[in-house]
Structure 1
Amino acid sequence: MFQHVTVAIYFVYACLGLIGLGIAILFYMKLKYLATLKKTEQYRLKHQDYFRFIQSHLHEDSDLPVPPGKLTALERRVIQDKFAEWIEQFKGEIRNRVVELCDKAGFVKDELEQLDSLFFGRRVEAAYRLGNMRAAEAVPRLLQMLRKQSYSPLTIILGRAIAKSAKQEEQLKEMLELMLRHGKPIHNLVADVLLETDLDSSKLLLKLLEDGNTDFVKVALVAMWGQAVPEVIPALDRLVGAEEKDVRAEAVKLYLSSNPVLKDETIKQLMSDNNWEIRAAIAKSLGSLHAAGSIPLLRNAMRDENWWVRNNSAESLAKLGETGFEILCETALRGSGVERETALYHIEKVMNEGTDHDAVDQMVSFNKKRLLYDRYFGVAERKPVRQVAAVGGDYSA
């Protein structure tokens, strides 16, 4: 019995020793981190004059000098981080001069050597820094790492580094293929990575839209948002009829964002599509396009099984002047079920927003809608009473 107690006591002492050792290691790491921060700030101040000199000569044709003197590893890292910060801030020829200075100072060579490190963290950090320095010579190595890499956060880091550094479209296409080969739904993220490139993105996106790889098309459609590229309209016109549902939906939404002149037959076809996202997108756009001829389609769409389609249709009707607003009033008075509730919601919304109009034409339009409102619901009754919530309990969206 006493032997077991002795073993237990020794075990407790061992545990206490390990705990003490762990606490000592944590304190050491904390102190080392604070010392590094202090040293980093000292080096920033030490090389402040050098940084000012480089900045003042970035617009000149003369060669930029490398950092002076014999530098410690941390000192080089401080200067390298400053150069990387400038590369992110500057564009064009000024950025290129800083990139050349990074190569001339040996920073790119140092990070290339770190790609062979036995430590995973150092390899990740090296890939990240090579991308920040736009190191074109690192792209083949980074692509090689991406080929061997299973999907993980490192996939995104490598892809972004390649996109920043690549000087050839073929390298970007290979990067896209390697990132998307795992079948993950990361097209939005990959599109964001792709737009980091310094190459002509509009030309590249047009090629991707015409590519036979469906994943490339999805990435291009996402990346096109917010970019005015008239050359892609023919490709979008073709993709509107694509067989794949999500490609067709993204193409339709992007096509509508370009404010096209839609034919009545095209509107009718899109409003009857079996994908609710397409029906909702076209219903929303008809109000912005002021397509008064589509009022019957919007009226029928208020009976749609999907809440987004019904809501966007009612919203567009409210934007189509007195005629559209009168359709909403008729639906609220004589309709039933979810279409009536949707109409009531948007009627109340229009009437509540009426006092916010400052322009004369907006006030005139609102007064006309007020007369229609009073005709259907009476002057004394300030608003139609809804029996249930506007969404009608439909969660199909």
Structure 2
Amino acid sequence: MDSHLTLAIYFVYFCLGLIGIGMLSLFWFRIRSNRMEKKQELYLQKHQDYFKFIQTHLNGASDLPLPPGKLTKLERRVIQNKLIEWIEQFKGEIRDKLVKLCQDAGFVSEDIKLLDSLFYGRRISAAYRLGGMRAAEAVPRMLIMLEKQRYSPLTIVIARAIAKSAERGDQLKEMLHHLLRHGKPIHNMAADILMETGLDSSRLLLKLLEDENPDLVKVALVAMWGQAVPEVVPALDRLVGTGEKDVRAEAVKLYLSSNPVLKDDTIRELMADSDWEVRAAVAKSLGNTHAAGSIPLLRTALQDSNWRVRSNSAESLAKLGETGFEVLCQIAKNGSGIEREAALHQVEKAMLEEGEHQKLDQMVAYNKKKLLYERYFGVSESKPVRQVAAVGGDYTA
């Protein structure tokens, strides 16, 4: 019994000792961190003249001078971080001069050696800095590092460093393969990483759209939003008919945003697509392109099982002049169920837009709609738009 009690006392003392060591370690790390921050501030002040000289000679013809004097390891890191900060801010020849300065100063070679460090944190930090310095010579080593890396938030750090530094399209493609092989739904993030590259984006996106890997195609489609890339329209036309559901939906939305001239047969096929996202995208585009000949299709789409398709169809009908708005009024007056709800909501919404019209043609169009409204519903005060409750159908949108 006494031996057990003695053992328990020793165990308590041992735990207290571990706690004490832990608290002392945290206190020491805090002091060390504060000391490092103070040293960094001192070094920034010490090298202000050098930084000002670099800034004033960025547009000069000659190479930028190396940091002066014999520097400590921390001093070199402070200067390196300042150069990386400028590299992120500038483009073109100025960036190239700063990148060359990092190479001439030995910053790039030092961090490439750190990629083989036994400490994981040092390897990640080195990859981050190499990306900031656009170190093309480090890309093969970072690709190997990314291939061996298990997926984590730090995987993004390595991938972004590769995207910034890569000089060839195949290196970016390999980076995307390694990044997406984990099966994570990170296509938007991958597209953001991809667009960090300094390579020609139009050629790169076209190659990815033609790839057999659907993940790469999805990344390219996401990356194309906001990009004016006319060369990829034929590839989009092909992807509209692909069997991959997610790819087809994104391709259709992007294809329609390029304002193509759609044939009637193509419109009918897309409006009958099994994917609600495709139907909704087409219904929305018909109003934006003022396709008055599609009024019967939009009229039928008000009975669609998906509320988003119904809403977009009603909105497009309201944009198609007096004829489209009259169809909405007829359904809102004499229709029933989900189509009447969608039509009535859009009609009431249109009647509340009187104060929003500034131009003469907009006011004339509104007055025509108001006359049609009064013909079907009589003269009455404008009522607030009702919140439409979807009746039946699909609620997953």
Alpha-carbon distance in structure 2 between the residues aligned to 1:384 and 1:301? 25
Alpha-carbon distance in structure 1 between the residues aligned to 2:6 and 2:208? 73
The 3-state SS of whatever aligns with 2:236 is helix
Task: Give 1:389's aligned residue.
Answer: 388
| Structure 1 position 229, deviation (Å) | 1.1
Per mean C-alpha deviation after superposition, the further-off stretch among 215-224 and 285-294 is 215-224
Q: Deviations over 1:191-235 (max 9, x none)?
A: 111111111111111122222332222221111111111111111
User: Aligned-residue CA RMSD in angstroms?
Assistant: 1.9
| Structure 1 position 184, deviation (Å) | 2.7
| Structure 1 position 17, deviation (Å) | 3.4
Task: Assess if the C-alpha contact under 8 Å between 2:283 and 2:316 holds in 1.
Answer: yes
Task: Assess if the C-alpha contact under 8 Å between 1:66 and 1:101 holds in 2.
Answer: yes
Task: Assess if the C-alpha contact under 8 Å between 1:307 and 1:396 holds in 2.
Answer: no
Task: Give 2:253's aligned residue.
Answer: 253
Q: Deviations over 1:259-313 (max 9, x none)?
A: 1122222111111111111000010111111111111111110100011111111
Residue 137, structure 1, aligned to residue 151, structure 2 = no
Q: Deviations over 1:320-358 (max 9, x none)?
A: 122211111111111111111111211221112222212
Unaligned runs of 5+ in 1: none
TM-score under structure 1 length normalisation? 0.94
| Structure 1 position 4, deviation (Å) | 5.3
Alpha-carbon distance in structure 2 between the residues aligned to 1:244 and 1:231? 22
The code of the aligned residue for 1:180 comes to L
| Structure 1 position 385, deviation (Å) | 9.5
Q: Deviations over 1:142-163 (max 9, x none)?
A: 1111222233333322221111
Task: Give 1:152's aligned residue.
Answer: 152
Alpha-carbon distance in structure 1 between the residues aligned to 2:325 and 2:147? 58
Task: Give 1:360's aligned residue.
Answer: 360
Per mean C-alpha deviation after superposition, the further-off stretch among 168-177 and 245-254 is 168-177
Task: Give 1:229's aligned residue.
Answer: 229
Task: Give 1:73's aligned residue.
Answer: 73
Residue 169, structure 1, aligned to residue 154, structure 2 = no
Alpha-carbon distance in structure 2 between the residues aligned to 1:207 and 1:11? 64
| Structure 1 position 95, deviation (Å) | 0.5
Alpha-carbon distance in structure 2 between the residues aligned to 1:16 and 1:151? 37
Q: Compared with structure 1, are the counterparts of its residues 234 and 221 closer, same or farther at alpha carbon in structure 2 (3 Å cutoff)?
A: same
Alpha-carbon distance in structure 2 between the residues aligned to 1:242 and 1:14? 66
Alpha-carbon distance in structure 1 between the residues aligned to 2:291 and 2:385? 30
Alpha-carbon distance in structure 2 between the residues aligned to 1:2 and 1:280? 79
Residue 93, structure 1, aligned to residue 80, structure 2 = no
Task: Assess if the C-alpha contact under 8 Å between 2:349 and 2:385 holds in 1.
Answer: no
Per mean C-alpha deviation after superposition, the further-off stretch among 211-220 and 106-115 is 211-220
Alignment: residue pair count: 396
Matches within 5 A, 1:364-379: 364-379=364-379
- Percent identity between the aligned chains? 70
Per mean C-alpha deviation after superposition, the further-off stretch among 214-223 and 50-59 is 214-223
Q: Compared with structure 1, are the counterparts of its residues 376 and 173 closer, same or farther at alpha carbon in structure 2 (3 Å cutoff)?
A: same
Alpha-carbon distance in structure 2 between the residues aligned to 1:382 and 1:157? 55
